[in-house]
């Protein structure tokens, strides 16, 4: 009766020359390639699919060693463990062990370098580097990237800032900066997981995680608008502005009190929705200029110029019928901001400083 296992001998392995497979039994095969190379293969079937698992070349792994490995894999199959999956998991664990000392401070610049080409300006890169240097590195910078957990992320976001006599929590005092930093930490940790430097859920994610501990940015950030300049005072202001040293101003925009004059996005919105070019733009000619103004040539003309006065206020003649301004709800903004990168949009979500808190409710 032929043996079911241990069919091959050391001499038979040595003499095998023809390309093909030579069975030893129990799923162990000797593979001879067309070029004459010899290696061991463990062949098994799992869930109706046949798999070949390499065990090493003959010149490195002996016949007895190949049989021992084959026996270990057969035992694993009896316990419901896929040998190939177990091998991949072991390799991944070894890889993580090899990079376990890669710190957060090492990973952050690598992430920035990998993504800076998709960011709009060098200023964006500088903002990343500055916030990480000021608030994240002192706490988690020297820690292994895989060791950063929820408590450490909260330690960064809830750290005390300000003077020792008047300490304040980072998340409440600098809500916008803290919120952006949280997103940056989340991106760095996601990148580290992608590169195999860490495993598990992202402890810096907002949805379904940190939102249970920290209030939304829109709930804690208080927006205080600067007072708008009364329209009637605009000419006097322009005259005073013209006396300042430097390149002279090109114009002034008058906005209503519901528009933050320091927020360029809101000012541009008011100009686009409330100003009619044919009626609401006045040109002030022969106004005070500046010898530094490059737009005025020849140089002797630079002491005089012109300015545009733009009325971006509601049309008072139709004030009763003027459309009501609609504002974004904080809850909608937070949902969009959290999914900004998932939606394939570049950079970070734009900053919104005006919300309709009266309509802020959970749907």
Which tens digits make up the pLDDT trace of 140-185?
999 999 999 999 999 999 999 877 777 789 999 888 899 999 999 9
Q: Is 196 left (phi over 0), alpha (psi -120 to 50) or beta?
A: left
> The whole model's pTM is what?
0.45
More confident residue, 241 or 86: 86
CATH label of the domain that carries residue 30: 3.30.160.390
DSSP assignment of 49-82 equals EEEEEEEEETTTS-HHHHHHHHHHHHHHHHTT--
Q: Judge if 122 and 85 occupy the same domain.
A: no
Total domains in the fold of the chain: 3
Q: And the tokens for 200?
A: 């598990």
Beta bridge partners of 309: 252, 282
CATH of the domain at 247: 3.40.1670.10
For 46, the token pair is 């799992």
Place of tokens 């960064």: 156
Pair 11, 27: CB distance under 8 Å: no
Residue 100's pLDDT band (boundaries 50, 70, 90)? low
Q: What pLDDT sits at residue 284?
A: 77
Determine if residue 319 is left, alpha or beta; phi over 0 gives left, psi from -120 to 50 gives alpha, anything else beta.
Answer: alpha
Domain identity same for 216 and 273 = no
Residues 6+ apart with CB under 8 A from 244: none
Give yes or no: residues 42 and 91 share one domain.
yes
pLDDT of residue 345: 78
According to DSSP, the β-strands at 304-312 and 251-255 are parallel
178 in any annotated domain? yes
Q: What is the mean pLDDT of residues 69-98?
A: 88
Cα-based distances in Å from 276 to 265, 287, 312, 313, 323: 18, 24, 8, 10, 15
Domain boundaries, position 47: 10-98
Q: Are residues 133 and 62 in the same domain?
A: no
Q: 1: pLDDT confidence band, cut at 50, 70 and 90?
A: very low
**For residue 142, which of 110, 192, 105, 189 has the smallest C-alpha distance?**
105
Per-residue pLDDT at 17 exceeds 80: yes
Q: Please tell me whether residues 45 and 110 are part of one structural domain.
A: no
**Is 122 part of any domain?**
yes
End position of a domain, from candidates 80, 98, 116: 98
Same domain for 74 and 118: no
Phi then psi dihedrals of residue 121, to 5 deg? -135, 160
Higher pLDDT, 363 or 111: 111
Q: With 50 as the cut, is the pLDDT of residue 358 above it?
A: no
Q: Is residue 17 part of a domain?
A: yes
Strand order in the sheet with 281-288: 251-255, 304-312, 281-288
Task: Give the closest residue to 24 by CA, choosing from 37, 36, 41.
Answer: 41
- Mark whether 214 and 129 lie in a shared domain: yes
Tokens 């709009």 locate to: 120
**91 shares its domain with 108:** no
């Amino acid at each position: 009766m032929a043996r079911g296992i241990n069919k091959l001998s050391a001499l038979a392995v040595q003499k095998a020359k023809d390309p093909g497979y030579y069975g030893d039994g129990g799923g162990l095969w000797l593979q001879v390639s067309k070029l004459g190379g010899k290696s061991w293969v463990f062949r098994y079937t799992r869930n109706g699919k046949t798999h070949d698992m390499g065990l090493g070349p003959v010149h490195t792994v002996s016949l007895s060693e190949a049989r021992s490995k084959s026996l270990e894999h057969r035992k694993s199959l009896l316990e419901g463990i896929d040998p190939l999956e177990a091998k991949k998991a072991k390799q991944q664990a070894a890889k993580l062990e090899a990079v376990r000392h890669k710190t957060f401070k090492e990973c952050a610049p690598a992430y920035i370098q990998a993504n800076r080409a998709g960011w709009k300006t060098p200023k964006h890169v500088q903002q990343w580097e500055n916030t990480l240097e000021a608030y994240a590195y002192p706490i988690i910078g020297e820690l292994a990237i895989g060791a950063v957990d929820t408590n450490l992320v909260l330690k960064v976001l809830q750290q005390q800032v300000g003077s020792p006599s008047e300490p304040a929590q980072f998340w409440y005092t600098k809500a916008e900066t803290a919120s952006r930093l949280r997103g940056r930490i989340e991106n760095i940790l996601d990148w580290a997981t992608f590169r195999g430097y860490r495993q598990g859920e992202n402890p810096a994610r907002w949805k379904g995680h940190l939102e249970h501990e920290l209030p939304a940015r829109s709930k804690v950030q208080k927006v205080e608008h600067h007072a708008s300049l009364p329209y009637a005072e605009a000419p006097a202001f322009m005259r005073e502005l013209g006396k300042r040293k430097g390149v002279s101003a090109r114009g002034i925009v008058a906005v209503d009190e519901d528009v933050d004059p320091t927020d360029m996005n809101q000012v541009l919105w008011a100009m686009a929705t409330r100003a009619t070019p044919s009626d609401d733009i006045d040109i002030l000619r022969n106004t005070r200029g500046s010898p530094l103004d490059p737009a005025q040539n020849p140089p002797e003309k630079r002491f005089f110029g012109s300015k545009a006065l733009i009325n971006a206020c509601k049309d008072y003649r139709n004030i009763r019928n003027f459309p009501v301004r609609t504002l974004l709800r904080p809850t909608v903004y937070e949902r969009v901001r959290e999914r900004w990168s998932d939606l394939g949009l570049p950079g970070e979500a734009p900053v919104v400083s005006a919300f309709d808190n009266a309509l802020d409710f959970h749907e």
